Amino acid sequence: MTIEECAAYLGVSKQLVAELVKLDDFPCIKFKRRILINKLGLNEWMNNNIGKFLDY
């Protein structure tokens, strides 16, 4: 999914997702200026980070 789709899915801003994709363990693929986020990987990443404070 795109950054916009991910933001809508999570109920957060596009700017927050744009910051999250900079994290090493965030489930995304970068093709030059295009960023795609893996939905299944995103759900797993969210489950692995429940209760954590992410300082990005």
Tell me the average pLDDT across 31-42: 95
Phi, psi of 35 (to 5 degrees): -120, 130
Q: How far does CA 12 lie from the centroid of its chain?
A: 10
Q: Which residue would you say has higher pLDDT here, 54 or 24? A: 24
Tens digit of each residue's pLDDT (9 = 90 or more) over 1-23 = 999 999 999 999 999 999 999 99
Q: What integer pLDDT is reported at residue 54 of this predicted model? A: 72
Rounded Cα distance, 16 and 48, in Å: 18
| pLDDT for res 1 | 97
